[in-house]
Amino acid sequence: LDWCLIQPKIELHAHLNGSVRDSTLLELARVLGEKGVIDFTAVESVISKDDRSLVECFRLFDLIHVLTTDHATVTRITKEVIEDFASENIVYVELRTTPKKNAVIGMTKRSYMEAVISGLKSIDSVDVDFIPSGKGRQNSSTALACDGMSNGTVRKKIYVRLLLSIDRRETTAAAMETVQLALEMRDLGVVGIDLSGNPVIGEWATFLPALKFAKEQGLAITLHCGEVPDRKEEISAMLDFLPQRIGHACFIKDEERIKLKSSKIPVEICLTSNIRTERFPSLEYHHFIDLYKSKHPMVLCTDDTGVFSTTLSREYSLAASAFGLGRKEMFELTRSAIEFVFADDGVKISLREIFDATTKNFM
């Protein structure tokens, strides 16, 4: 479906290390294999595997982190991931990543994030807007520059904002450190906090103080919620916290569904990720259609383009065929996500202009 590629899109749930190109991972693995740090052949078969259970995914993330966690590589993968998103006409992306420490190579959470920022600055194939203007309205020429239908004479532009992830393996103090860092890096495009990591590890109470603090300080919050059947009433507690968005919400019981719908908390939907990790036997059972029919705010996202071998265009195409939606419906679905991006109103105005400028091609 060509129009899925051409239409401007908004990506609100993308993990940096889950979105690394396979070719880059293999190249990095080969180098570490030659140095004797890893067994390349074993790693190659893990990277090239297509279907993975949830447990295998988290093992893969640990492996990816071995390959990517040095400053130069973090800069490289950030650049590549944003270039890949821009190439499929994503006009706004919130990229999330877990700030990491590694004393052996002098990496702190701050220096990790500085490497991410260097990656954004190093992109020259498209214009990257990641520094909040602070002036409200953005330059109106952005509408043209971002038009996915441009004739090639106008440079593409992509808005990038960052979310810092708290990993469920972390302590309260570590989570608080991430929130502090996010506050210090607001001028560099950090707009919010994500809670992610293996959903069967960690307790909601451990992260709550840091999340509460982040919220009080005006950072936006998105939580991975309901990825596995509920543990210790966590889903209900998460909904009561009233985050600005949640991711997945696959395993929610009837009373939580009522709560979710009345709260109107937007849901980030990642179809391929949910199917690959066996949250649903097939798309026919996916809660997308229930949320869509009840006009619940939601947005289609990729989660991990690398790990799940997908793209946002592919997710649109999948949804269109699985749920019988046409290009008009899909265009409206993406456009509706402007209302729940975490960037300021100036960016929202620019995004509305971009979508308005291309409406005629999709309606």
CA 259, 261, 263, 268 dihedral sign is: positive
Residue from 98, 138, 302, 334 binding ligand 5GP (CB under 6 A) = 98
Residue from 7, 75, 89, 97 binding ligand 5GP (CB under 6 A) = 97
Matching residue, tokens 């279907």? 51
Q: Is 80 marked active-site?
A: no
Pattern of binders to ligand 5GP over 263-302, x per CB under 6 A?
Answer: ----------x-----------------------------
Find out whether 148 and 91 touch, Cβ atoms under 8 Å: yes
How far is the C-alpha of 125 from the C-alpha of 84, rounded, in Å? Answer: 11
**Cβ closer to ligand 5GP: 42 or 200?**
200
Stretch touching ligand 5GP by CB under 6 A, among 105-113, 177-185, 196-204, 289-297: 196-204
Closest Cα to residue 74, out of 30, 122, 42, 40?
122
Find out whether 143 and 173 touch, Cβ atoms under 8 Å: no
Closest Cα to residue 12, out of 94, 89, 92?
94
How far is the C-alpha of 261 from the C-alpha of 312, rounded, in Å? Answer: 25
Residue from 199, 202, 243, 266 binding ligand 5GP (CB under 6 A) = 199
Q: Give the residues across from 245 on adjacent strands.
A: 222
Structure-block tokens of residue 345: 């109103």
Q: Is position 197 an interface residue for ligand 5GP (rule: CB under 6 A)?
A: yes
Q: Is position 89 an interface residue for ligand 5GP (rule: CB under 6 A)?
A: no
Pattern of binders to ligand 5GP over 30-69, x per CB under 6 A?
Answer: -------------------------------x--------
Q: How far is the CB of 222 from ligand 5GP (least distance, A)?
A: 11
HSE of 54 in the Cβ direction (CA atoms, 13 Å)?
Answer: 14
Please pick, among 227, 256, 315, 353, the residue that the annotation labels catalytic: 227
Structure-block tokens of residue 81: 């991931």
Residue from 196, 313, 334, 350 binding ligand 5GP (CB under 6 A) = 196
HSE of 229 in the Cβ direction (CA atoms, 13 Å)?
Answer: 0
Q: How far is the CB of 246 from ligand 5GP (least distance, A)?
A: 12
Q: How far is the CB of 160 from ligand 5GP (least distance, A)?
A: 14
Stretch touching ligand 5GP by CB under 6 A, among 14-22, 150-158, 171-179, 324-332: 14-22
Residue from 80, 256, 303, 353 binding ligand 5GP (CB under 6 A) = 303
Beta pairing class for 9-15 and 190-196: unpaired
Find out whether 5 and 145 touch, Cβ atoms under 8 Å: no
Footprint on residues 324-353 left by ligand 5GP (CB under 6 A) = none
Structure-block tokens of residue 114: 């500085």
How far is the C-alpha of 330 from the C-alpha of 8, rounded, in Å? Answer: 11
**Cβ closer to ligand 5GP: 22 or 356?**
22
For the chain, the helix, strand and coil percentages under 3-state DSSP, each to the nearest 5: 50, 15, 35
**Cβ closer to ligand 5GP: 195 or 320?**
195
Query: How many helices (H) and strands (E) are present in the chain, helices listed first?
Result: 16, 9
Q: Is position 304 an interface residue for ligand 5GP (rule: CB under 6 A)?
A: yes
Residue from 16, 38, 235, 341 binding ligand 5GP (CB under 6 A) = 16
How far is the C-alpha of 142 from the C-alpha of 320, rounded, in Å? Answer: 28
Stretch touching ligand 5GP by CB under 6 A, among 81-89, 151-159, 191-199, 236-244: 191-199
How far is the C-alpha of 222 from the C-alpha of 77, rounded, in Å? Answer: 23
User: What distances in angstroms separate CA 281 from CA 50, 285, 320, one per listed residue?
Assistant: 16, 7, 18
Q: Is position 227 an interface residue for ligand 5GP (rule: CB under 6 A)?
A: yes
Pattern of binders to ligand 5GP over 161-180, x per CB under 6 A?
Answer: ----x-x-------------
**Cβ closer to ligand 5GP: 142 or 198?**
198
User: Residue numbers of the site for ligand 5GP (CB under 6 A)?
Assistant: 15-18, 61, 97-98, 165, 167, 196-197, 199, 224, 227, 273, 303-304
Residues with catalytic roles: 227
